[in-house]
Structure 1
Amino acid sequence: MSDFDALQAAIRRHAEARQAEQRACEAFINALYHALRTASGPGLPLNNVTLDFTPDPANRLRPAPPGGWVAAWLRLGLCEVLVRVRRTDGVFQGEYGSDGVFRLSAISEDDLIALARRVLRDVAATYTSQNSGNAGQLN
């Protein structure tokens, strides 16, 4: 078997696990998007939040190997924030902006809303030049 054939076999062997990880991460980002829309509280939806999945700019291989990042731009009114998520040992690990990080093992609605509010606070702090949480300058 040539090196090329070995590479193709390895990619095929791990395709199902890789696709399952990608679907889980996409579902997580979609749930975060919905949490951002409701982060202002009951009956106060944020209507100017949009979601646009994008190839992760840091991925150097396609398809991304197992444990690779899934990325999306979240538009929050007048700004956009790149969010990257991957699964590590059953835990969702993510990054947003340049310094924001999170790690969630429980994915309840309350956990997602708390994360959404933290993202909003960190982005607002960046634009008002305040330090809040883990985010510094996002761009």
Structure 2
Amino acid sequence: MSEFDELQAVIRRHAAGRQAEQRACEAFLNALYHALRTASGPGLPLNNVTLEFTADPDLRLRPAPAGSVHAAWLRLGLCEVLVRVRRLDGAFVGEYGAGGTFRLDSTTEDDLLVLARTLLRDVTAAYGGDAAPPSHLN
């Protein structure tokens, strides 16, 4: 078997696992979107929140290998926040904005609401000048 054929076989063999991981990360990003829409409390939806899945800017291989980061832009009214997430040891680990990070071992509604409110506070601080400048450039 040539090296090329071996590469193709490995990609085929692990396709189901990669696809399941991608679906899980996209479902997480969708759940975070819904949490952001309800972050203001019951009966107070944020109507100008949208979600747009995108290729991770750091991804250098397609299809994405297992353990890769999946990304989406969350539009929050006048700004957009890139959220990147991947599965690590059963948890969702990710980053958002200029330096926000998270790790969620469970994705209950309350866990997602806490993350959504933290994200909103961090983005507000970044635009309000209360946040430290990012330590690296994109």
TM-score band by shorter chain is over 0.9
Task: Write the distance in 2 (CA, Å) between the matches of 1:90 and 1:106.
Answer: 9
Q: Distance in 1 between matches of 2:133 and 2:91?
A: 24
Q: Contact between 1:38 and 1:44, CA under 8 Å: does it hold in 2?
A: yes
Mapped to 2, the partners of 1:136 and 1:62 lie a distance apart of 32
Once the two structures are superposed, what CA deviation does each residue of 1:17-72 show, in whole Å capped at 9, x if it has no partner?
00000000000000000000000001100000000000111000001100001100
In the alignment, the residues of structure 1 paired with residue 105 and residue 115 of structure 2 have an alpha-carbon distance, to the nearest angstrom, of 12
Q: Corresponding residue for 2:51?
A: 51
CA deviation map 1:76-134 (0-9, x unaligned): 00000000110011100011013111000011000000000000000000001103xxx
Q: 1:50–1:76: 8 Å Cα contact kept in structure 2?
A: yes
Aligned residue number for residue 80 of structure 2: 80
Amino acid at match of 1:14: H
Q: Normalising by the residue count of structure 2, what TM-score does the alignment of the two structures yield? A: 0.95
Give matches, 1:32-111, under 5 Å: 32-111=32-111
Aligned equivalents of 2:110, 2:30: Cα separation in 1: 15
TM-score, length-scaled by structure 1: 0.94
Q: Secondary structure at the match of 2:31?
A: helix
**Deviation of 1:136 (Å):** 4.7
- Greater CA drift, 29-38 or 97-106: 97-106
Specify the SS of the correspondent of 1:58. coil
How many residue pairs get matched? 136
List gaps (5 residues or longer) in structure 2: none
What secondary structure does 1:75 align onto?
Answer: strand
Q: Distance in 1 between matches of 2:7 and 2:37?
A: 42
- CA distance change for structure 1 residues 7 and 58 in 2, over 3 Å: closer, same or farther? same
Q: Which runs of 5+ in 1 are unaligned?
A: none
The alignment yields a C-alpha RMSD, in angstroms, of 1.4
**Matching residue of 1:28:** 28
Sequence identity percentage: 74
